[in-house]
Amino acid sequence: MELKFEVSGRINKSVEDVFEAVVNPEKLSGYFTTGGASGCIETGATVNWNFADHPGAFPVKVIEVVANRRIVLEWEADDSGEDSAYNTTVTMRFEALEGGRTLISIAEEGWSKTETGLKGSYGNCMGWSQMLCALKAYVEHGINLREGMYK
């Protein structure tokens, strides 16, 4: 069994607006990386994502960016039971829909086939689902859903 998942949501904004809200560190920090994002998501870059409600920055390696279509990232698996660190792969896909809407899908894969790998995948699945909800609220209404959610 391979540990992977995909979540998706529809946002009532153009694919350009939704994509920009993910790659632009100032916008990303307004609803997701509430402790800050160190730079723009660009192919070959490594950026640090910080969450005000979770201590420490997470280095995120940007593997590929295709403007308004796809982002591929790698970051360390949240798998505290592993003896050695390893990365998972996150793929975000952006699809323009009728009426100026956007479908965004986020898939993550690559956890070890262990209990802690399974637990880590469940946690990240929840996190990416919440990111999509926060993204929708932010780009459609300027609201930060993470504020006060976890602490």
CATH of the domain at 27: 3.30.530.20
Number of domains in the chain: 1
pLDDT at residue number 10? 98
pLDDT at 109 exceeding the cut of 80: yes
Is residue 18 domain-resident?
Answer: yes
pLDDT at residue number 103? 98
Is residue 78 domain-resident?
Answer: yes
Is residue 134 domain-resident?
Answer: yes
Reduce the DSSP state of residue 37 to 3 states and report it: strand
Is residue 50 domain-resident?
Answer: no
Q: Tokens for 2?
A: 């391979």
Is residue 151 domain-resident?
Answer: no
Is residue 150 domain-resident?
Answer: no
pLDDT at residue number 82? 60
Q: What is the pTM of this model?
A: 0.93
Residue-wise pLDDT for 15-36, tens only, equals 999 999 999 999 999 999 988 9
Range of the domain at 92: 4-33+64-141
pLDDT at 81 exceeding the cut of 80: no
Q: Mean pLDDT over residues 56-80, rounded?
A: 92
Q: Which of 7, 5, 27 is nearest to 16 (CA)?
A: 27
Reduce the DSSP state of residue 85 to 3 states and report it: coil
Q: Mean pLDDT over residues 100-106, rounded?
A: 98
